Structure 1
């Protein structure tokens, strides 16, 4: 018994030690950036990255970033893109998943398989075709074009919604139909509120991916004003 307790204690120690260590490694770059942001050019060149700045009230770097790098406009554009992409993706994704799950028609499985096939295609391999389409539609250097592009790459969210619909009993739909409800009422008033966990999960995944997107943003939003 004593040996088991010691073994469990060692395992618990290693588990928490590894969690603390990797958390420290993950937070270290962020702390370094915060410290460096308050340093002068002279301090940055003469000290290491973890040396504290002489003054925590040196905001010259922030002023230059907002004035010269136009970060204020960049934050506003990022917020607009993020909100629009999440809203449009949620509306389209939930409706499409509802149709594919609740209605059985010819081509239903084909559409699902096409979505699955799309997840296997690397995005880089399709960039030439996508860039040509965006150019011909005059959507380069356009926030609307970029929002459309980001909304069109949401296959994972659709599968998340479909899996959640699988766990919702269809008897709810049938009961609502008996009471005189139409499909729009069933979807918006009964099923959509039940999809909150799936919507939150999808928004987290899509939101992080959209906000951290660099390649497409750099390729399709080349105008420095954006």
Structure 2
């Protein structure tokens, strides 16, 4: 799936959750463009830049904050909309007076820290495929032992897009983040953040930020 529905939804990026006037929240753009494999367009370039900015220390944030994208803003109560329809409605502001504004819905969803509709189906597996590896690893060869300090953690997404951190071993992160440690290194410290994902059709992507 491309990013055909993303045109015009982003007018800028940065720390603001909302795009400029007349635009949808940038997390809707991130959701669309991630699903489509980050197609080449100004809108998706801005979304990708924000996606990476969020994992650039400090602090390290969830790269996709789906709770800031009102997926259910205009979904009819009597039917479950299609995947494409849900993404479209997430990207475009509602024009109906009877439907709460995206800003109002987004404010409620942000408090819940998860998507405002059921995204547990396999069509949203691309959200749960995101992994964020925050590596902080030090090894130093002492006289009679190998001194190591490892405060690495991994960030994952739950069934409804909720993000959480858990402890992880630097020696188990993918090799694009840190090379395999063999024996006891002579010294040094590795600090990096890697993020990986699969798009809607299963294509794999990753980015790495060292610091």
TM-score range, shorter chain: under 0.3
* Alignment TM-score, normalising by the size of structure 2: 0.21
Q: Which has the higher strand share?
A: 2
- Indicate the structure with greater helix content: 1
